[in-house]
């Protein structure tokens, strides 16, 4: 089992800070910790340097009285002895001249110009913004952060759900639940970016309209204990509970429970639907990942899983479907496992496993590049950017002083928000700006091509 919240929300310390207020970070003086330029001694000629500082200066002072023949001799001697250099100190060796393997007349470079290399993307190593998040529950098994399609970030802080509008940086309070019902254990935006589901510690799920700040309905009878994970699939809201059950709820109808998935023996802490909406991945505190197929779902009896993946050795909360390969799923294990594994969900085969060295709390694929971002716990509490499929580390982003439990991605895919047990919410410009798609060339249509032809 991974360390949760010590099962006691009452142990949280009281905070007087105002939530989601930007922190003023004190930057170091720019004159502090300046780098020193250290010469490359192997690339320097100290004898020549001494000559230029002593005898060379005397020669330059007496150049006006030298005869033309003596001046010509001096230049020839300087060229022969390589004394026409202008640099004394060298900070790096001069690169060797390129060797031309083929004569230039046989070169075909002009006929076949090479494609220019893609410039290396700059990845900022520090967060571009940091907000206070007092009363954020430090619990590995919960899901308290989500970024909706309307560019509004939802975060649960204790018993309250706050909305932060990324377009104008405004903050509003959506709802505060009673102590007997709270704290809030999960939040999840519907695909429309307007409606939001809120899972509670008392096993209920509330549906809210964020535009009107109005509660629409409460889903009861799904679970016997807290609802720590949720995932939307159009009008179907899938919920996972501490009771190990997974329930599909059709929010349009009165009797909302339409399917039940049973396979986990302990709390379901991760749920993710594939982009097609056909497969559901679930991760649990029993160290198991299940793949469920929507076509096999049944309302009459518990649905049988498609694949049961048991290679992880700790709780699996981090789940991420690949955006460019529909049957590729990435999963991350907790503190006793520390690995990221990749699965072919058609066959159930494990394609690769990478030891990250620390607890994997969350995973996000880039929408624009073949890259994967992971957030971690002890000991560095960092965010790590990986290049796929080589899994070479591209960057490690540090700043959190406690495990980075939750991550959410902006609708454009460029910015990632991370929330940690240090009660801060940080924003990282990690994935960069997507390239502008080339516009398709205009096609010259025939005159009156929009009219039906007469035979």
Q: Where are the chain's structural domains? A: 139-309, 327-432
What percentage of the chain has pLDDT greater than the value 90?
Answer: 65
Q: Is the pLDDT of residue 34 over 50?
A: no
More confident residue, 229 or 46: 229
Find the mean pLDDT for residues 398-404. 97
Is the Cβ–Cβ distance between 431 and 413 less than 8 Å?
yes
In the structure, what pLDDT confidence band is assigned to residue 2 with cuts at 50, 70 and 90? Answer: confident
Q: Which residues contact 151 (CB under 8 A, 6 or more apart)?
A: 165, 166, 167, 193, 410, 411
Q: Which residues pair with 227 in a beta bridge?
A: 241
Is the Cβ–Cβ distance between 7 and 139 less than 8 Å?
no
Query: How crowded is the C-beta side of 68, counted as CA atoms within 13 Å?
Result: 0
Report pLDDT for 434: 72
Q: Is the pLDDT of residue 16 over 70?
A: no
Report pLDDT for 296: 81
- The mean of the pLDDT values for the chain is 84
Q: Which residues contact 138 (CB under 8 A, 6 or more apart)?
A: 5, 402, 403, 405, 421
pLDDT tens by residue, 227-245: 999 999 999 999 999 999 9
Of 344, 341, 9, 377, the C-alpha closest to 160 is 9
Task: State the pTM of this model.
Answer: 0.75
In the structure, what pLDDT confidence band is assigned to residue 70 with cuts at 50, 70 and 90? Answer: confident
CATH code of 327-432, in short, is 2.130.10.10
Reduced to 3 states (helix: H, G, I; strand: E, B; else coil), residue 59 is helix
Phi, psi of 236 (to 5 degrees): -95, 125
Report pLDDT for 107: 45
Q: How far is the C-alpha of 378 from the C-alpha of 361, rounded, in Å? A: 10
Q: How far is the C-alpha of 331 from the C-alpha of 353, rounded, in Å? A: 10
Buried b (16+ CB within 10 A) or exposed e, 413-443: bbbbbbbbbbbbbbbbbbbbeeeeeeeeeee
Q: Is the pLDDT of residue 146 over 90?
A: yes
In the structure, what pLDDT confidence band is assigned to residue 64 with cuts at 50, 70 and 90? Answer: low
pLDDT tens by residue, 174-222: 999 999 999 999 999 999 999 999 999 999 999 999 999 999 999 999 9
Report pLDDT for 202: 96
Q: What is the spatial order of strands in the sheet that 152-157 belongs to?
A: 145-147, 152-157, 160-165, 170-176
Q: DSSP assignment of 282-320, as one string? A: EEETTS-EEEEEGGG--SSSPBPPSEEE---SS-EEEEE
In the structure, what pLDDT confidence band is assigned to residue 74 with cuts at 50, 70 and 90? Answer: confident
Assess whether the region 139-309 and the region 327-432 belong to the same CATH fold. yes
Is the Cβ–Cβ distance between 60 and 9 less than 8 Å?
no
pLDDT tens by residue, 310-359: 999 999 999 999 999 999 999 999 999 999 999 999 999 999 999 999 99
pLDDT tens by residue, 281-308: 999 999 999 999 988 876 666 678 999 9
Residue 2: both structure tokens together = 């991974």
Q: How far is the C-alpha of 198 from the C-alpha of 184, rounded, in Å? A: 7
The helix (run of H) or strand (run of E) holding residue 332 is: strand 328-333
Q: How far is the C-alpha of 196 from the C-alpha of 221, rounded, in Å? A: 19
Find the mean pLDDT for residues 21-38. 52
Report pLDDT for 144: 98
Architecture of the domain made up of 139-309: 7 Propeller (2.130)
Report pLDDT for 292: 96
């Amino acid at each position: 089992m991974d360390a949760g919240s010590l099962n006691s929300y009452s142990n949280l310390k009281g905070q007087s800070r105002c939530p989601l207020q930007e922190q003023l970070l004190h930057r170091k003086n720019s004159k502090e910790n300046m780098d020193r330029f250290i010469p490359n001694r192997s690339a320097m000629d100290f004898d020549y340097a001494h000559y230029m500082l002593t005898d060379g200066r005397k020669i330059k002072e007496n150049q006006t009285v030298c005869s033309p023949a003596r001046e010509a001799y001096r230049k020839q001697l300087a060229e022969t002895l390589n004394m026409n250099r202008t640099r004394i100190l060298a900070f790096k060796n001069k690169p060797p001249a390129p060797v031309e393997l083929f004569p230039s007349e046989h070169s075909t470079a002009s006929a076949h110009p090479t494609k220019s290399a893609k410039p290396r993307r700059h990845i900022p190593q520090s967060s571009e913004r940091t907000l206070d998040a007092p009363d954020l529950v430090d619990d590995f098994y919960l899901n308290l952060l989500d970024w909706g399609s309307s560019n509004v970030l939802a975060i649960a802080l204790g018993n309250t759900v706050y909305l932060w509008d990324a377009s104008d940086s405004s903050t509003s309070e959506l709802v505060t639940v009673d102590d007997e019902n709270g704290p809030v254990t999960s939040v999840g935006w519907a695909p429309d970016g307007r409606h939001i589901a809120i899972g509670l510690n008392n096993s209920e799920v509330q549906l809210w309209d964020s535009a009107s700040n109005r509660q629409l309905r409460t889903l009861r009878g799904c679970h016997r204990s807290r609802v720590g994970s949720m995932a939307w699939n159009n009008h179907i809201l899938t919920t996972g509970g501490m009771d190990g059950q997974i329930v599909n709820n059709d929010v349009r109808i009165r009797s909302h429970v339409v399917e039940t998935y049973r396979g986990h023996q302990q709390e379901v802490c991760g749920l993710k639907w594939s982009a097609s909406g056909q497969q559901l991945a679930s991760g649990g505190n029993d160290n198991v990942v299940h793949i469920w197929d929507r076509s096999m779902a049944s309302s009459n009896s518990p649905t049988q899983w498609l694949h049961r993946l048991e290679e992880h050795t700790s709780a699996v909360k981090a789940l991420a479907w690949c955006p460019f390969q529909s049957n590729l799923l990435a999963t991350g294990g907790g503190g006793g496992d520390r690995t990221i594994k990749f699965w072919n969900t058609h066959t159930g085969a494990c394609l690769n496993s990478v030891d990250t060295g620390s607890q994997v709390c969350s995973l996000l694929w880039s929408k624009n590049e073949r890259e994967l971002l992971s957030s971690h716990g002890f000991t560095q509490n960092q965010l790590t950017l990986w290049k796929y499929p080589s899994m070479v580390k591209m960057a490690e982003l540090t700043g959190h002083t406690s495990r980075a439990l939750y991550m959410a991605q902006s609708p454009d895919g460029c910015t990632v928000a991370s929330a940690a047990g240090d009660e801060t919410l940080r924003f990282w410009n990690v994935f960069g700006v997507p390239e502008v798609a080339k516009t398709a060339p205009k096609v010259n249509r025939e005159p009156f091509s929009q009219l039906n032809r007469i035979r």
